[in-house]
Structures are given as C-alpha cells and as structure tokens.
Amino acid sequence: MQAGAAGVRAPVLAFVVCRAARDKDAFFADLDEESIGGFHHEDWWAGERGARIRLWQFGTMVMVPGPKPVAAPAYARGTIQMTPREHLGLEQVAVIVPPKYRGQVPADLTLNVPPGMGARIFAAGLEGPRFMAFSPDGVLHVANMKVGSVREFNPPHNDDVIPAPEAMRGQILALPDRDGDGVADTSIVAVDNLWWATSLAFYGGELYVGDRHAVRRYRDENGDGVYENELPPLAELPYGDHHRTKTIQFDEINDKLYVSVGSSCDHCRETDPERAVILEFNARRLGGAASSPAVCATPWAWAFIR
C-alpha cells in the first residue's frame, strides 16, 4: 500500500486468488453466492491442452481513505472530447488526400496529431481494414476483413459451421510503394478466401493469419507477392457468435506465438477453457501438424492500484 502525495493513503482495489483445482466440487461443494459473503468471484483455466487446471478466484474490493480526486474538466452537454488538447498538446491538421484517391475520401478530413506531424491517405477503397504488418521486404500488408459484407459486426456466413472456401470473402492485401512517394502504387490480393480474418504476421518466411476459426499460414512459392500455397493450419480455434476476431503476435526473441481468443458471451461464466484467454505456442515447433497451446493469461488475473 502506498502513501499519497500528502502522506494520505490512496484508494486500493484488489482481487485475491484463493486456490486452484481441477474440479470445483473438490473444495467448493459447500459454498454458494451467499455463504462466501457475496464476494466477486471468477474462474479461468491454465495449462496444456488436454490437461487444463481450473482456477477459482474469490475476492473483495478494499477501499482506504485517500485524497479527493481531481475534478474532470467540464465539457459542453452532449459532447465527448476524445483527445483533449489541453492535456496532450495535439494540433489539428488537414488530412492530405492524393489525387488518385479524391472522390473516394472526403476532402475536409482532419486529425489531431502531436506537433510537427502530419497525416495523409496511403491507400483507400478497402473494406473493413484491420491489423497491418510489413513483410520482410518492406511491403505493407493489411487484413481486409469485410469484403462483400453489408453487416458491421458479422461475416457474410455467420453460422457455427465453417463455410466452403469459395464462400469466404476476406483478404490480405499487399500495398507496395515502390517509388517511395508515400502512396500505395497498387493493391495486390496476397491471400483470399478468408472467413473473418483480423490480424497477420510474418515469421520464418511464411505469412500467418488470425482467422475466425484457425491460425492459418501461407507461403509465397515464386516471390510474386501472392501467397498461393496454404499450408496446414497452425491451430484450430474455437469460434461462435461472440467475439469472432483472433489477434496473433509473435515474440521473436523468445520464439513464441500468442493468440487472443475472446469469450463466448458478454456476461456469463466461461465454460470453454480456450476462450477468454491468450494462447501461447512454441514458434520453434511450427511447421508441422496443428500445434497444442498453453493458456498463458486470462482477463481475470488482474489487480488495480491507484
């Protein structure tokens, strides 16, 4: 516990993890919501696939005296100030629209940026662009997630059955800038037939894609920028009607791949040990059949101290 600026203790909010068990009935059989004092409690999973351990958390909120918080600045009723200039020192600049994109992008766009910086359109005409990554040769790639979709949050085929490849419309686009003028020369479909792909990463000469149902991987066999050879997926992932996107990130120093998988609901007890988690893969073992991950983190393992 830390003291405030004037020696007054600051508020503390803490959750305490009590115990881990493979079966909650092993030691929680006689507990219910009332007998534990109405404490907030959660559960999550950890360990290798096929040998999961269920962790049970019981805790409470602890508040101690502290200084009165600084009053937030008053804004006009009905307004939201996302980037308050008095706090961040941002400056409003006009977004530069290259001639080739005029008509596709509004001409009066502005952004608030740090002093000395500007903003210009690099590429336009994409359909639901999400995560981006540079290839080893310096070409920007972007997940073009919502190709052909008229819905904001759902793919065209939103059933619990993986659609046929030809029914998947998502893409990974390559946006080369060969002349270095800060504008994409063209748009190349590097990968297509993706279900609802949101993220991508390059590793070991291959392109990895976080799709709704799997971590998929591709290889460009002839160096033309099109990853035409789809290899066996790194891993199949749980999917359903909630939290459909999967984000992947390589740790090249420690040779790990991390995959975030959202929960199957917005407000419930998660029963799937591979949802509402971050999965860890050993990148050195990639390249064969689907790999078995370990659960390395969950959104419930946290503490906040102010």
The pLDDT tens digits of the residues spanning 124-142 come to 999 989 999 999 999 999 9
Reading the block at residue 49, the tokens are 């696939």
Q: Higher model confidence: residue 158 or residue 203? A: 203
Is there a contact between 74 and 53 (Cβ–Cβ < 8 Å)? no
Please report the pLDDT score of residue 266 as a whole number: 79
- What is the Cα–Cα distance from 165 to 121, expressed in whole angstroms? 32
- What is the Cα–Cα distance from 211 to 7, expressed in whole angstroms? 51
Across the range 37-45, mean pLDDT stands at: 45
Across the range 279-300, mean pLDDT stands at: 62
Characterise 68 by phi-psi region: left (phi > 0), alpha (psi -120 to 50), beta (else): beta
- What is the Cα–Cα distance from 121 to 111, expressed in whole angstroms? 12
Is there a contact between 64 and 12 (Cβ–Cβ < 8 Å)? yes
DSSP category for residue 169: -
Q: Higher model confidence: residue 246 or residue 305? A: 246
Per-residue pLDDT at 165 exceeds 80: yes
- What is the Cα–Cα distance from 20 to 58, expressed in whole angstroms? 11
What integer best gives the mean pLDDT of the chain? 75
- Selection from 269, 277, 275 nearest residue 298 by Cα: 277
Across the range 179-195, mean pLDDT stands at: 96
% of the chain exceeding 70 in pLDDT: 63
DSSP 257-285: EEEEE--SSSSS----TTSSEEEEEEGGG
Taking CB atoms within 8 Å and a gap of at least 24, the contacts of 111-116 are 112/83, 112/85, 112/88, 114/88, 114/89, 114/90, 115/89, 115/90, 115/91
The pLDDT tens digits of the residues spanning 65-117 come to 555 555 665 667 767 666 554 567 789 999 999 999 998 998 899 999 999 99
Q: Which of 32-46, 232-246, 278-292 has the lowest mean pLDDT?
A: 32-46
- Selection from 190, 200, 192 nearest residue 223 by Cα: 190
Is there a contact between 254 and 242 (Cβ–Cβ < 8 Å)? no
Task: Specify which residues 134 forms β-bridges with.
Answer: 140
Please report the pLDDT score of residue 202 as a whole number: 97
Could you identify the residue written with the tokens 């591979």? 274
Cite the beta strand spans of 49-145 per DSSP E. Answer: 53-59, 91-94, 110-113, 129-134, 140-144
Per-residue pLDDT at 163 exceeds 80: yes
The answer to whether the predicted template modeling score (pTM) of the entire model surpasses 0.85 is: no
Per-residue pLDDT at 32 exceeds 50: no
Please report the pLDDT score of residue 55 as a whole number: 53
Q: Which of 39-48, 81-90, 103-112, 162-171 has the lowest mean pLDDT?
A: 39-48
Reading the block at residue 231, the tokens are 């290899």
Is there a contact between 266 and 242 (Cβ–Cβ < 8 Å)? yes
Please report the pLDDT score of residue 214 as a whole number: 92
Q: Which of 137-141, 270-274, 281-285 has the lowest mean pLDDT?
A: 281-285
The pLDDT tens digits of the residues spanning 215-269 come to 999 999 999 999 999 999 888 888 877 788 899 999 999 988 999 998 888 777 8
Three-state DSSP state, 85: helix
Q: Where does the chain have alpha helices with state H? A: 25-28, 85-88
Reading the block at residue 123, the tokens are 């590429």
Q: Higher model confidence: residue 18 or residue 232? A: 232
- 33: confidence class by pLDDT, cuts 50, 70, 90: very low
Reading the block at residue 280, the tokens are 């860890």
Please report the pLDDT score of residue 93 as a whole number: 95
Please report the pLDDT score of residue 270 as a whole number: 81
- What is the Cα–Cα distance from 111 to 119, expressed in whole angstroms? 7
- What is the Cα–Cα distance from 36 to 59, expressed in whole angstroms? 9
Please report the pLDDT score of residue 23 as a whole number: 44
Per-residue pLDDT at 22 exceeds 50: no
DSSP category for residue 25: H
